[in-house]
Amino acid sequence: MMSSSTVCCANCTGSTSFEVKFEADTDDITEHSHDDKPRPYVCTVCDKRFLQEAGLKAHRIVHSTGEKLYSCIQCGKRYSSPNELCRHKNIHTGKYKCRECGKCCRSGSNLERHKQTHTGEKPFECKVCGKRSGTAADLMVHCRIHTGEKPYKCLVCDKAFNTSGQLGRHMRVHTGEKPFKCHKCDKVFAASDTLNRHTRVHTGKKPYNCHMCGKAFSERGALFSHMRVHTGDKPYTCSVCNKEFRQKGSLDIHTRCVHSNTKPHLCPYCGKQFKLDMQLKWHVRIHTGAKPYSCTHCSASFIRGDTLKRHLLWSHNEGTWFTCHICQKKFGHSGHLKTHLLSVHKDVKLYVCSECPKRFCTTAELIQHQLMHTDFKQFCCGLCGKLFKRKANVISHFKKCSGNLGFSDSFSIH
């Protein structure tokens, strides 16, 4: 099935437009009005054109059987023709590798398009909002934001997507397939781009640099979010309290942590409930003893990545300090500096208790205070079963309880 859209190429047509066609299962451009290569072999089913007859014959398999007979022995990904498989293998061999970020592409043309992400070249412009894209395919996908078109539908849960690639990655949610494996730590992933981002954990490579302050990032999305620090842009607003955020993920976390009491994530070891999936993951590591974040300078290892960052900063002076411009006090986290400015220098207390007039500088302080107005006790002594509202209280009680029951001093609670 073919779909088409009118786009503008600033490089080859100036302000004029041309029509590009995409095959529904690949998102590849099959025609371009100024393509000077003759494509005499045309598929009678979908009108896709080919340079050689062999390409047309291989393509017809898709319409005749729908099967993908050729499988990659390294990652298991399947293709409908041997040529597609050969191009895919270039990803594993690194034949077309980006020198900037290390990404491996399956063809030279794909590599050239990828390089535009580093150079900033974006010749294709959206006629609706003016946003520019590096390729016509990217512009085609972008235009679906305005049209609302989501032509690729999951047959299992009816969820719809903009591209066939998004649908393919989504299907792995149902199948549980994770074909992409890290050769350093054997961790597996459902998508190749997720593996590429993960690989930078081992290499330490940060190819995306902020042109304003020089700070480097391992992911392009992280750079985009960081740029809002300089622009002051906070496009995501909470509908309950009107607090603004730079990232949608931060707004989602704020909504669940501050304005919702639901805790859908249950610990399989002790039954403790959490609002966020990542909170449960951190907690489970207490039971399993897993500490996946290791310091490269010493033997220390940690449950959480942010704990490792603090360790690197305070113990090895590696990382970025956040300094108060008033008293020059240093902080390891931007949030701690913000709290310091609000509480010490400005005394601004934005967070008001819904049960009493008391006000607080941070949401964490407000949440701790609100425990006074509820009977909910989430912390339990593992020795006697007594319940407490605050973690500090159960830790203090646990020390006394373990002493009364004759346990050694080394027996502690986390």
**Does the pLDDT of residue 144 top 70, yes or no?**
yes
Q: Give me the residue label for tokens 């995409």.
A: 22
pLDDT for 29? 38
Q: How far apart are CA 372 and CA 53, in angstroms?
A: 77
State the DSSP string of 376-404.
---EE-TTT--EESSHHHHHHHHHHHHHH
At residue 46 the predicted structure's pLDDT band, cuts being 50, 70 and 90, is: low
pLDDT for 67? 60
pTM: 0.41
Q: How far apart are CA 368 and CA 393, in angstroms?
A: 12
Same fold: 2-149 with 321-374: yes
Q: How many CA atoms lie within 13 A of 61 on its CB side?
A: 15
Q: CA torsion sign, 302 to 305 to 307 to 311?
A: positive
pLDDT for 284? 92
Domain boundaries, the chain: 2-149, 321-374, 377-414
What does the pLDDT look like over 280-289, one tens digit per residue?
Answer: 999 999 999 9
Q: Of 31 and 183, which is predicted with more confidence? A: 183
At residue 61 the predicted structure's pLDDT band, cuts being 50, 70 and 90, is: low
203 SS3 class? helix
**Does the pLDDT of residue 164 top 80, yes or no?**
no
CA neighbor of 208 nearest in space, from 197, 194, 218: 218
What does the pLDDT look like over 326-360, one tens digit per residue?
Answer: 788 888 877 788 778 777 776 667 678 888 888 87
Instruction: Kindly report the CATH class assigned to 2-149.
Output: alpha beta
Highest mean pLDDT out of 9-13, 51-55, 226-230: 226-230
**Does the pLDDT of residue 221 top 80, yes or no?**
yes
Q: What CATH number should be reported for the domain whose range is 321-374?
A: 3.30.160.60
What does the pLDDT look like over 5-31, one tens digit per residue?
Answer: 444 443 343 333 434 333 333 434 333
Q: How far apart are CA 111 and CA 126, in angstroms?
A: 23
